Structure 1
Amino acid sequence: MAFRPDAATRVYRIVHSRFPPFDGSGTYRWGSRWVSPGRQVVHAAETYALAVLENLVHWQTNVLPSALVCVEATIPAGMQQEQVNDVDPRALGSFDHEATRAHGDDWYDRRRTAVLWVPSAVSPYERNILSNQTHVDFNKVEVAAPVRAVLDRRLLQESSSGGG
């Protein structure tokens, strides 16, 4: 479903500082839950907290990676966007990405909008955004300079008490 918000929207992306801050090279190479490899798509989250969660599920260690930065991007008011509303919730938690990639690949290949809002698999009541780097409107998204990502170290520490 396409829409044009009346207000600008801020989104957040956390990356290692050695990578370009708002670039889809990783997705182009490996793909993601929402797009197959070969598509230049930047992933971001609608909140900073969701950006942290989306990263936590991919870290294979209990040590916080060093040199993480947060990039805030602003999608301008009035920019046409699209939202996925009809994904089976079971597909979000699945490691078989066929259903979700069908949505994302179709959106990307048809270049309908520069931005696609999708439900988060980590927190399905929140949304992530996909930005198509090849879309003519991609450059309208304003990307701020990266700043140091601030993460609470307790997010990765094991509890010694065995409970909350």
Structure 2
Amino acid sequence: MTNQQHLSLHHLAEQAVRQAMELKLTVATAESLTAGMVSAVLADTPGASGMLQGGVVAYQNSVKADVLKVSAELLANAGSVDHDVAAAMAEGARSALGADIGVSTTGVAGPEAHDGKPVGTVYIGVATAAGTNAFEYVFSGSRAEIRGQACGAALELLIQALAS
């Protein structure tokens, strides 16, 4: 991850923490691709303890199924890098950790394709009381750059969810 990318992530995290605190909303994360990066960047921000409920690093499908309650059938049929899996992960984090908003990341950072999806394919889920959705992205760069871009996109989606 570049220094510029690192600074951008911290700026996004500051905005997300500020908005969540103003609205008195809590956030939980479920991360596969980013392996805790989203919650770590949020936690680096002063005030995060007032809005960050916690996070689940669900790198393995067994954790996605057992902890986040993602359907084992969905994981078997779609694989872990999937729109519906990202949505289910976000809802699972929201439910398991008792948060107002759940955010999830799943994707392929490389160097090899995974579950038939090319390197750079990323899905980010967002779950709120109003509903759950997932968004597809295609990023490029090194493994670290793809993970950083996914983290930034997750923070941007969190900010959008807080604004709505």
Is the shorter-chain TM-score for this pair beyond 0.5, marking a shared fold?
no
The two structures have a TM-score, normalised by structure 1, of: 0.26
What TM-score, normalized to structure 2?
0.26
Q: In terms of Rg, which structure is larger? A: 1
The structure with the largest strand share of the pair is 1
Greater helix share, 1 or 2? Answer: 2
